[in-house]
Amino acid sequence: MQVFELGTFLVSIVTFLIMFLIIRRYGFGPMAKMLEKRRLYVETQITDAEQNRLQAERFLTEQQQLLESARHQAKELLDTARVRADELARDILSDAQTESRRLLEENRQLIERERAEVLNGVMTSVSALTVELSEKLLRRNLSHEAHQEMVREAEKLLGELIC
């Protein structure tokens, strides 16, 4: 009785290999393909989700930055406007003051000048009248020098009188 059967030994190997090839081709293959597809799908989904999360975070940060900068800008604008308004007000005020001062000065000078003119005219006519009057009163002829002397004296007196 021989226990080891060489034929069975070899044929079983061949049979198993054939069965294996058939099973791999028609049974295991589609299943493995599906599993691989699922693995890829899950991987893609995870990658996508991660990317989306990162993008969302980036957008959020960007938005926050934008908001911050906008707020900053608004504050700056407000500050500048306030400063400019202050400056403008100050300018207008100083301009008005200068203008009024100038007008005042001008008017004063004008008055001064007119007064001086009037005084001059009055003085001239008064001195001439004085000389004529004194001539008439004294009825004597005065020398040219004495006449000049008298006019000067009269002018001096008048000047003292006015001032």
Residues binding other proteins (CB under 8 A): 1-13, 15-17, 19-20, 22-24, 26-32, 34-35, 37-38, 41
Cα distance between residue 43 and residue 78, in whole Å: 52
Least gap, CB of 15 to other proteins (angstroms):
5
In this complex, which beta carbon is closest to other proteins, that of residue 17 or of residue 104? Answer: 17
Q: How far apart are the first and last CA of the chain?
A: 171
Cα distance between residue 56 and residue 51, in whole Å: 9
Are residues 161 and 154 in contact, defined by beta-carbon separation less than 8 angstroms?
Answer: no
> Apex CA 38: angle with CA 18 and CA 51, to 5°?
150
In this complex, which beta carbon is closest to other proteins, that of residue 32 or of residue 96? Answer: 32
The helix/strand count (H/E) of the chain reads as: 3, 0
Least gap, CB of 28 to other proteins (angstroms):
5
In this complex, which beta carbon is closest to other proteins, that of residue 33 or of residue 53? Answer: 33
Least gap, CB of 30 to other proteins (angstroms):
5
Least gap, CB of 14 to other proteins (angstroms):
9
In this complex, which beta carbon is closest to other proteins, that of residue 14 or of residue 163? Answer: 14
